[in-house]
Amino acid sequence: MKLPTSFLPLLLLLSSFSFSSSATKTDDFLNCLAKSSDSTTISKLVYTPANSTFDAALTYSINNLRFAQASTPKPLVIVTPTTESQVQNVIYCTKKTGLEMRIRSGGHSYEGFSYVSSLQFIVLDLRNINNVTLDLSTKTAWVDSGATTGELYYYISRATSAYGFPSGLWSNVGVGGILSGGGILTRRTMGEDLFWAIRGGGGGSFGVVVSWRVNLVPVPPIVTVFRVFRTLEEDMTNIFYKWQSVAPVFPNELDIRCNGQVILSNSSTRSDKKTMQMNFESLYLGPASEVLAIMRERLPELGLVREDLFEVSYIQAMVFFSQFPIQAPPEILLDKTISPRPAFKGSSDFFKEPMPIEGLLGLWDYMFQLPDNQAFLQYTPYGGRMNEISATALPFLYRAGYLYMFNFYAVTCPSREKFAEETARMDWVRTVDEYLTPYVTSNPRSAYVNYVNVWMGQNNPTGSTSYAQASQWGKRYFGVNFDKLVVLKTLADPFNLFRHEQSIPVFSSYSDM
Ligand SMILES: Cc1cc2nc3c(=O)[nH]c(=O)nc-3n(C[C@H](O)[C@H](O)[C@H](O)COP(=O)(O)OP(=O)(O)OC[C@H]3O[C@@H](n4cnc5c(N)ncnc54)[C@H](O)[C@@H]3O)c2cc1C
Ligand SMILES: *[C@@H]1O[C@H](CO)[C@@H](O)[C@H](O)[C@H]1NC(C)=O
Ligand SMILES: *[C@@H]1O[C@H](CO)[C@@H](O)[C@H](O)[C@H]1NC(C)=O
Ligand SMILES: *[C@@H]1O[C@H](CO)[C@@H](O)[C@H](O)[C@H]1NC(C)=O
């Protein structure tokens, strides 16, 4: 779940600018594409609603079903290029026809930014650009944006068991979005500033990243993993309370994250038989004996025993963290359809202080307001390698001084018949957000750009968006790095071709007066 701390991208695509304002923008776009690319090749990679396969091509990687409704705006065209030059042509033709473009890699945007727009739009879907090429002599891998983290982990493991790459959990998340942010440019030709911006400045603002070169990280032959569950009746609250301050200062080799939810249990003291349950989920880069020793000293309250621990290869640990059975063959990481896809609304925060017990109990009370298994709390500890990187080294700045990232989400009910329930769920998320205010960071209240949340504000659909307006979410995602991102955006993409609801705005002396 930690952000990649070491990577060198890649190739970016930009091109020159012009507009056409035709009523048949789809035809203009398709004609442009057929002219600029090999027309027989490209036509097999283009879907319009006239193709019977259009719906399947669209829903293929929609992760949040809240944006898979009949009422969700649909693209005019989906293009699934297989080469860089086709990507360039898509960008060129999008500009030429004045359509909006949404860039999609793994489709895991919390708010559907990669496949929804309120304006007429096309989807540039990178699913076919998904090679992972290892270069063990330099301990690097080239990974294309359309690959998933599961594919990245898998292909590294096929080449070597001595290295891994720390990206996220869940194998279906796209590399493009998770590593993100966009000429054909390499690190040298784009310059160090733009190279800085795309590694954390959020996807969809600076261009299309086609491929990333990542530094592999050494891993031991055997790692230890565990996932143990504790309920309220099993002292969960006190264990979690202590976790908050010890987890960020564990040795660098140890990561323990927590996930909370309401379950039904016969040992519950409540009449509705609900209880809160927290799972403590861990990766240790070393043997089980060392985990037990560290836990005895630092978090004995968890009561960890040897039977809780599994010594496995690094790739089996990745299988485990994608919520598959620990002995499942690693090929399961290549399956892009297997992970659950809920409809959900989420929000993120960072904590600098542990939440006091009363605060935790209040949060559990909110959790009890919903049925079991309908809301989820996710805690990702900071510290370790994260702390060794300065707040301005990359756009992502919540590092030293932060205890953990918190992310919660509720399952929602987006179908038209369930409108009241949907509203109630969304209200619940808002209420919990407000409840957390005194406990989380403030001025600005921080949030993680990979967990985008449109409630913080949005760019105007057309025309420019002022710096002040964009600061409402920009400063929450990027803090002091936001200003630099705006300057770099203004230089790199002055006409704001690469945009979405919360992309970095172009500084305009007009709207910013
Ligand atoms: C189930 C689940 C698990 C997750 N686990 C983790 C985790 O463990 N750690 C973590 O840090 N985050 C995690 N996330 C958040 C995840 O990192 C973001 O949702 C990320 O943006 C998804 O990337 P994607 O390519 O799948 O998404 P997409 O929806 O395809 O893209 C997300 C954004 O990036 C833009 N973008 C996509 N590709 C490119 C590209 N090639 N060039 C430029 N812009 C691009 C899109 O336009 C969009 O704005 C998780 C999310 C989900 C839903
Ligand atoms: C979509 O339909 C067009 C027109 O029939 C065809 O040329 C194209 O190959 C189809 N696209 C796909 C991906 O099958
Ligand atoms: C992916 O790898 C294959 C086989 O090596 C190669 O033919 C193809 O051009 C590569 N694709 C990209 C987009 O680099
Ligand atoms: C609770 O106990 C009953 C009776 O023993 C049993 O049938 C049921 O499965 C239990 N429920 C849970 C959630 O454990």
Tokens of 83: 């080469």
118 in a structural domain = yes
The domain tally of the chain equals 3
CA angle, 219 then 249 then 168, to 5°: 45
325 in a structural domain = no
**Chain-wide mean pLDDT for the chain?**
92
Closest CA to 262 of 150, 148, 127, 408: 408
* pLDDT tens string 37-64: 888 899 999 999 999 999 999 999 999 9
266 in a structural domain = yes
159 in a structural domain = yes
- In the sheet that holds 254-264, the strands lie side by side as 310-312, 223-231, 274-284, 254-264, 375-381, 404-411, 344-351
- Would you state the pLDDT for residue 13? 45
| Cα(28) to centroid(ligand 2), Å | 16
| Cα(42) to centroid(ligand 2), Å | 9
At a CB cut-off of 8 Å and minimum separation 6, what does 183 contact?
12, 13, 14, 15, 189, 190, 207
State the average pLDDT over residues 29-44.
92
CATH number at residue 194: 3.30.465.10
Tokens of 495: 């006409």
Q: How far is 319 from 338, CA to CA, in rounded Å?
A: 12
- Would you state the pLDDT for residue 37? 83
Instruction: Evaluate: CB of 450 within 6 angstroms of ligand 1.
Output: yes
Can you tell me which atom of ligand 3 is nearest the CA of 82?
13
* pLDDT tens string 221-277: 999 999 999 999 999 999 999 999 999 999 999 999 999 999 999 999 999 999 999
- 111 and 11 part of one domain: yes
Q: How far is 513 from 511, CA to CA, in rounded Å?
A: 6
CATH number at residue 41: 3.30.43.10
Place of tokens 């409108």: 419
- 186 and 235 part of one domain: no
* pLDDT tens string 82-122: 999 999 999 999 999 999 999 999 999 999 999 999 999 99
Buried b (16+ CB within 10 A) or exposed e, 262-274: beebeebeeeeeb
Considering just the CA atoms, what is the radius of gyration of the chain in Å? Answer: 23
- 210 and 354 part of one domain: no
Task: For ligand 4, pick from 266, 270, 273, 373 the residue to mutate: most ligand atoms within 8 Å of CB.
Answer: 266
CATH number at residue 301: 3.40.462.20
* Number of other CB atoms surrounding residue 220 within 10 Å: 15
DSSP category for residue 205: S
Q: Are 364 and 261 in contact (CB under 8 A)?
A: no
- 230 and 177 part of one domain: no
- 184 burial (CB, 10 Å; 0-12 / 13-18 / 19+) is middle
190 in a structural domain = yes
- 175 and 297 part of one domain: no
322 in a structural domain = no
Backbone angles phi, psi at 148, to 5 degrees: -95, 165
Task: For ligand 2, pick from 26, 41, 46, 58 the residue to mutate: most ligand atoms within 8 Å of CB.
Answer: 46
State the average pLDDT over residues 311-328.
97
| Cα(239) to centroid(ligand 1), Å | 32
End-of-domain residue from the set 415, 448, 481: 448
Tokens of 314: 């690094």
- 262 and 354 part of one domain: yes
- 184 and 36 part of one domain: no
State the average pLDDT over residues 176-196.
71
Range of the domain at 410: 223-312+342-448
Most confident of 165-179, 204-218, 357-371: 357-371
Beta-strand pair 77-79/121-125: parallel
- Would you state the pLDDT for residue 363? 98
* pLDDT tens string 187-229: 676 778 888 898 888 889 999 999 999 999 999 999 999 999 9
* pLDDT tens string 476-487: 999 999 999 999
Amino acid at 416: R
- Would you state the pLDDT for residue 182? 32
Q: How far is 373 from 361, CA to CA, in rounded Å?
A: 18
Percent of the chain scoring above 90 in pLDDT: 83
End-of-domain residue from the set 218, 243, 268: 218
- Would you state the pLDDT for residue 105? 96
Is 422 in a helix, a strand, or coil? helix
Closest C-alpha to ligand 3, atom 4: 131
**Torsion-angle region of 82 (φ positive above 0: left; ψ -120 to 50: alpha; else: beta):** alpha
Closest C-alpha to ligand 4, atom 5: 266
Question: Residues with catalytic annotation?
Answer: 451
Q: How far is 403 from 240, CA to CA, in rounded Å?
A: 13
- 189 and 41 part of one domain: no
End-of-domain residue from the set 68, 97, 126: 126
Closest CA to 263 of 292, 306, 234: 234
- 177 and 257 part of one domain: no
